[in-house]
Amino acid sequence: MRRIMQASETQAPPVHGAPRPPLAAARALMARFLGGEDGRDRAGAALTMAIRVASAGLAFLTQVLLARWLGAFEFGVFTYVWVWVNVLGTLAVMGFSTSAVRFLNEYAKPAAAGLARGFLRFGRAVSFGAGALVMLAGLFILWRFPGLADDHYLRPMMIGLLALPAFALTDFHDGTGRARQWIGLAFIPPYILRPLLILVFTGWALWLGGERQATLAATALVAATWITALAQFALQQRRFASETTGAAPRYDVGHWLWVSLPLLLMESFTLLMMNIDILLLELFVTPEGIARYFAAARTMSFVAFIHFAVSAVAMRRFALAFADHDATRARRQLDRFRGWMLWPSLALTGLLLVAGPFILSLFGPGFATAWPVMAALAAGYLARALAGPVEALLVVSGRQKATAAVTGLTAALNIALNLMLIPRYGLLGAGLATGVSFVFQALALSFLARRTLQRGFGETARNSRAKRP
């Protein structure tokens, strides 16, 4: 890279085989853009964003085709089942997916390889084991009390629960991959491979003469989730084995649980906030209504991918700043990442709102009527972008309990607003409730992050250690 920069700065005449001046200038610009810590962060965020955009396109295609193949009613049933699998599977990780970013960065030095190996073993066991327990509990409850779910939800739900252990394991490896900046191994399996397999398996089954029912799509979901989990585990294990070779596993279970369980509480509230609209809509609208709302919400959630991509890169930077007791550096990074998040979010929101009616019409007749839901959700997504990756900062700087409290309060507000607004305004009421809740959360977390940075990361202790002979 240094040679490229030097070559671009000299005025030597071109020779045969040398790059043309425009090409040399382009290379110099890329070297400048991708050089240094800033450039590495840009590259990481760009790769994460590219994967999420590709996954969003694939997920959108999957949802459009499933809606076309199954019809609005059966697609609505499958959507409801998928939301429950997503919620229960994420909770089964017990917060270890997020705490992995902190602990695996703390254990990055060779002297701590044993702790890294122990954390991996324990986190995998907890995730898979909790997923299996939740699966068994859910199957027993639905078998013992079938009246808890309407008939058209019962069988697809029981099938979908079989995916939980694999879903939880994949979610844990999402966190371990982010901790090591293995962006491809973290995100491609759950966000590219899994939806692609769902689409392929469902289409194949329908081509073979399968019935156009949610049970068929739920079966495809289970198969895709297990294949994805096993592939991701094998690929990451090869990487980690080379890092921790010869290190005996060491365990600090008490400390891991002390940090992870508050994160579980926070993630529980976050999942409620992100999915309670669809879960509560089931009480008031038909599966067709759920399908239309899901199409609008998922279309607008393209904006959230920018937040996700920037946060994935920012979290590691914040964790390193916290480990170095450097709040000033974290403050600069927060300002930088906020800009990365806000302007692309503004542009994408405007584009989606303009193209919204056309995009929704791709799902089938009647889906375009859900466009007002997109407008209601837009305000919430923009508020989160304006706040920046404050949640990532708080989680890795020891403020996970306060973050969980804010998220819990936001979830309670979201539930209350949904129960008040859905009966009166229907799908739009759910969108308004979620949008307002996002705005509240962004304001509260921004205030908490500002207070945290003002108090510092223990710089006094760091300076006193540095002065020791």
Check residue 425 and give its pLDDT.
92
Confidence at residue 2, expressed as pLDDT on a 0 to 100 scale: 40
Is 20 among the domain residues?
Answer: no
- The residues near 95 (Cβ < 8 Å, ≥ 6 apart) are 259, 260, 261, 262, 263, 264, 265, 266, 267
- Is 331 within the bounds of a domain? yes
Domain boundaries, position 363 = 270-462
| Other C-beta atoms lying within 10 Å of the C-beta of residue 360 | 22
pLDDT given for residue 165 in this prediction: 97
Model confidence pLDDT, tens digit, residues 39-74: 555 565 566 667 767 777 888 888 889 988 998 889
| Six token digits for residue 254 | 């008490």
* Claim to verify: residue 205 and residue 245 sit in the same structural domain: yes
DSSP string, 323-374: HTT-HHHHHHHHHHHHHHHHHHHHHHHHHHHHHHHHHHHTT-TTGGGGHHHH
244 lies in the same domain as 275: no
Task: State which of 203, 224, 251 marks the end of a domain.
Answer: 251
> Are 342 and 437 contained in the same domain?
yes
Q: What is the predicted pLDDT for the residue at 459?
A: 53
Q: What is the pLDDT of residue 428?
A: 94
Counting the structural domains of the chain, the total is 2
Q: What value does the mean pLDDT of the chain take?
A: 83
Widest CA span of the chain, in angstroms?
82
Q: How far apart are CA 395 and CA 391, in angstroms?
A: 6
Which tokens hold the place of 219?
């079966």
State the pLDDT at residue 33. Answer: 46
Q: Quick check: is 165 in a domain?
A: yes
Contact between 425 and 296 under an 8 Å Cβ cutoff? The reply is: no
Same domain, 300 and 417: yes
Confidence (pLDDT) at 58: 84
Q: Which of 251, 283, 314 is the last residue of a domain?
A: 251
Amino acid (one-letter) located at 115:
L
What are the backbone dihedrals phi and psi of residue 165, each rounded to the nearest 5 degrees, phi first?
A: -60, -45
How confident is the model at residue 16, as a pLDDT? 46
Last residue of a domain, one of 220, 251, 282: 251
72: in domain: yes
Separation of alpha carbons 140 and 117, rounded Å: 35
**In this structure, is residue 37 part of a structural domain?**
no
Residue 147, pLDDT score: 83
At 12, is the secondary structure helix, strand, or coil? coil
Is-above-0.85 flag for pTM? Answer: no
Tell me, yes or no, whether 77 and 226 share the same domain.
Answer: yes
Amino acid letter, 84: W
Is 196 part of any domain?
A: yes
Answer whether residue 438 is part of any domain: yes
Tokens read off for 51? 């994967």
Residue spans of the chain under pLDDT 70: 1-49, 52, 244, 246, 458-469
In a shared domain, residues 314 and 200: no
**Residue written as token pair 């019962």:** 154
Does 44 fall in a domain?
no
Residues 72 and 208 in one domain: yes
- Per-residue pLDDT of 172-210, as tens digits, reads 999 898 888 787 888 889 988 999 999 999 999 999 988
| Spatial separation of the C-alpha atoms in residues 102 and 387, rounded to whole Å | 22
